[in-house]
Amino acid sequence: MDLWYTENHQEDTKFSIKVQEHIHSEKSEFQQIDFFRSETFGTFFTLDGYMMVTEKDEFIYHDMITHVSMAVNPNIKKVLIIGGGDGGTAREVLRYPGVEVVDMVEIDERVVRLCQQYLPLTASKLDQDNRLTLYFEDGLKFVQEADEGYYDLILVDSTDPIGPGEGLFTVAFYNNCKRVLSEEGILINQHESPYYASYAHEMKRAHSKIKETFPISKVYQFHMPTYPSGHWLFGFASKKYDPIKDIKADEWNKLGIETKYYNTDLHVGCFMLPTYVKKQLDNE
Ligand code: AAT
C-alpha cells in the first residue's frame, strides 16, 4: 500500500508527498516530531504535522533568512538564532569568517538531536564550530534575560504562531529583540504567507506589531515549494538600515560566498511585493 504524508493547507486543500519510509516518530515535551524519506524531496521532517524542512528546498529558506541581512551589514559579528533546530540557518551564518559569536536558542533539544541523526545536510555544522553555542530554552525567555545592545543580528527561525512558537510573535518578544540589538541591529523573522487567509492573518498581525516596534520594517518574499501556497515571507526590521538603500552589494560579492538562491540582484527584487500583498500590509 502507498504511504503518503499529507498536510492540510486549507480545510479543503491538501498537499501530499509520497513517502518511501516513515523514518522516525516521537512526541517530545513540546511537539510531535516525524521524519520521512521521499523520492522528490529527499528526507524531510514535520512538527505537529506541519512541514519544516526538506533536503531539496531547504537552501531557499536558509539562504533567504541569512544572506539578506549579511549583505546590508557585512560587519555583523554577534548573531542570535531563535529556533532553527535543524541547523540550516546556523550553517549559513557560520560561513561568514567575520561572524564571531552565534548563540542558537532552540526550545526542543529533540529536534536538534534528530536532525543530527537524520538530516546532516542542515545539522552537521552544529557540533563543529566553536563560535556556536546551543541553548535549549524558550527564545522568549532568552531575550528577556539577554544583555542590552549585544547582538548585531537576530534571526527568528520559528514555527508558526501556534504551539511553542506563539510567544515569538508577540509585542513583548519584539520589544526585547529591539532592546538586545545594537544600534546597527537587524531583526529577521519567519513572517508567514500572504496567500491563504489563515496565514495572511498571521502575516498581518506580525507586521503590525513589528512596525510598532522598529523604525524600519519591511517584508520580503521567496518561493518555497513545500510550504502552504509556495509563497513565503521574512520580515526585515532595523533601527538604522534600509534593506534596499543600504545594501553593500560589492562588499558582499567580494566575500565570495557561493549561494544557490540568493544573489544581490534578487536582494532588491525580493522586497518588491505583489499588489495584493502590499495592500494587506499597508492596511496594518
Ligand atoms: N529552518 C526551518 C525550520 C523551522 S523549525 C522552527 C524551530 O523553532 C523548531 O525546531 C521549534 O522547536 C523551534 N521553536 C518553536 N518555538 C520556539 C521557542 N519559543 N523558542 C525557541 N525555539 C522555538 C521553521 C519552519 C517554518 C515553518 C513555516 N510554516
Domains and CATH numbers, the chain: 3-54 (2.30.140.10), 58-282 (3.40.50.150)
pLDDT at 154: 98
Alpha carbon distance 186, 177 (integer Å): 9
- Which atom, in ligand 1's list, is nearest to the CA of 65? 1
The residues carrying an active-site annotation are 157
- Which atom, in ligand 1's list, is nearest to the CA of 105? 21
Helix ranges restricted to H, the chain: 58-72, 88-93, 109-118, 120-123, 139-145, 171-180, 197-213, 249-254, 264-269, 275-282
Alpha carbon distance 146, 144 (integer Å): 6
End-to-end C-alpha distance for the chain, whole angstroms: 48
Confidence class of residue 1 from pLDDT cuts 50, 70 and 90? confident
Percent of the chain predicted with pLDDT > 70 = 100
- Which atom, in ligand 1's list, is nearest to the CA of 227? 29
Confidence class of residue 20 from pLDDT cuts 50, 70 and 90? very high
pLDDT at 8 over 80: yes
Please state the rounded mean pLDDT for residues 223-230.
98
pLDDT at 284 over 80: no
Q: Which of 79, 29, 87 is nearest to 53 (CA)?
A: 87
Confidence class of residue 165 from pLDDT cuts 50, 70 and 90? very high
Give, for ligand 1, the residue of 103, 106, 143 to mutate: max count of ligand atoms closer than 8 Å to Cβ: 106
Please state the rounded mean pLDDT for residues 132-147.
98
Which residues are CB-contacts of 25 (< 8 A; sequence separation ≥ 6)? 32, 33, 34, 35
pLDDT in tens, 76-115: 999 999 999 999 999 999 999 999 999 999 999 999 999 9
Percent of the chain predicted with pLDDT > 90 = 98
Q: In angstroms, what is the span from residue 245 Cα to ligand 1's centroid?
A: 30
Is the distance from the beta carbon of residue 53 to the nearest atom of ligand 1 less than 6 Å? yes
The neighbour count for residue 54, using CB atoms within 10 Å, is 23
What are the φ/ψ torsions at residue 101 (nearest 5 degrees)? -130, 130
Q: In angstroms, what is the span from residue 164 Cα to ligand 1's centroid?
A: 8
Which residues are CB-contacts of 194 (< 8 A; sequence separation ≥ 6)? 200, 203, 221, 231, 233, 274, 276, 277, 280
Q: In angstroms, what is the span from residue 134 Cα to ligand 1's centroid?
A: 14
User: Is this structure's pTM higher than 0.95?
Assistant: yes
Is the distance from the beta carbon of residue 88 to the nearest atom of ligand 1 less than 6 Å? yes
pLDDT at 213 over 90: yes
Confidence class of residue 56 from pLDDT cuts 50, 70 and 90? very high
DSSP-derived letter for residue 147 is: P
Please state the rounded mean pLDDT for residues 159-174.
94
Residue nearest to atom 16 of ligand 1 (CA): 165
The 3-state DSSP class for residue 225 equals coil
Q: In angstroms, what is the span from residue 204 Cα to ligand 1's centroid?
A: 19
Is the distance from the beta carbon of residue 87 to the nearest atom of ligand 1 less than 6 Å? no
Is residue 273 within 8 A of residue 221, CB to CB? The reply is yes
Lowest mean pLDDT among 133-142, 159-168, 186-195: 159-168
pLDDT at 128: 87
Confidence class of residue 283 from pLDDT cuts 50, 70 and 90? confident
